[in-house]
Structure 1
């Protein structure tokens, strides 16, 4: 039982390497997404996310320092994470060349959602590890998790809302922009679901 409580140290460290590479890739994803943003509110939102992603990278580098891990180590799983991020950047660049700025903006939204889905999962797992472990390593991970958790929820659920509403607008139906997730300051999956269901009322009674 003791081994189970300790966890798989090698896999835990691999998760941290993937998380670091995800944040590194996220900087590139947001930098490119910003060049696709047409809506001013969305551009401001993504600029904030880019700044926060850079901070999250620094948070992880502090974790690596405290745990004695080499942030430059060529861990195999990092190549896969990098490949995914590079692919998202390439997809946005391809969309920009298509000549339809609104369509490219939607593609960028979808790419951000894909990137943030992995990022969000990384941090959820880091939080779980912090909760299961004990001692100095648990304290380090918990501190990092608590510093980043709300930002990650915000990034994922709000961009999902933006992308959904931009799609609805493109389909020729009334959209709620900024999306309900933004107006209601959603930070949980339940909150995101409630915000989506509230969109019809928001259309009927715009603020």
Structure 2
């Protein structure tokens, strides 16, 4: 497949935002763990926190290879930081003012919001690494391959937990841990199939 030269300035913007997303993600998981009640969810988020710390280090290493300053601030990066701080504040607000169950749901929603951006960042990095023509692609591809599977788990598995915890809060039968976690899904298609399988999984539990 023919590779295309990319706009280096915009790649750097993506990387600054990606690094800020990981740094914000560390704070988000630390706060979400304070809100987690479900044992399986708590175990997952503890693992995701450790992986996010590793992802942040992987990006810092990429910055070193590319000669970029990891502390450079851009308007886009400031927005990412603001959103991350807002998600942390939302969880703390829920924990202070609501029930433990409600705070857990808010934490799940905040993690899904953060991981949606994080997942997209890495998908874009991977896309450029595979399809772009430039000197940065080797370092980017190595980092992408290091974190890709983790990122799929963070988004799709937490979405599954959030759905099932909401269903449980409504007084309806829930599948916990969720199908996405049980089946170890790693793609959007896999997540959709896992959700479709929840009824059969629910029946097998009863």
Matched, 1:93 2:92: yes
SS of equivalent to 2:70: coil
For the Cα contact (< 8 Å) 2:5–2:134, is it kept in 1? no
Q: Kindly report the root-mean-square deviation, in angstroms, between the aligned alpha carbons of the 2 structures.
A: 1.4
Return the TM-score normalized by structure 2.
0.97
Return the TM-score normalized by structure 1: 0.96
Query: Do residues 25 (structure 1) and 24 (structure 2) align?
Result: yes
- 1:145-171 Cα distance to aligned partner (Å, 9 max, x none): 000111000000000000000000001
2:60 aligns to what?
61
Aligned partners of 1:99, 1:84: CA distance in 2, in Å? 22
Structure 2 unaligned segments of length 5 or more: list them.
none
Give 1:74 shift.
Answer: 1.5
Q: How many aligned positions are there?
A: 205
Post-superposition Cα deviations, 1:75-111, rounded to whole Å, max 9, x if no partner, equal 2211000000001001100100123000100000000
Q: Could you tell me whether the CA contact under 8 Å between 2:6 and 2:133 is conserved in 1?
A: no
Deviation string 1:64-83 (CA, Å, 9 cap, x unpaired) is 00000000112221100000
Q: Distance in 2 between matches of 1:34 and 1:90?
A: 14
Structure 1 gap segments, 5+ residues each: none
For 1:94-138, what per-residue CA distance to the aligned partner results, in whole angstroms no more than 9, with x for missing partners? 100123000100000000000000000000000011012245411
1:48 aligns with 2:79: no
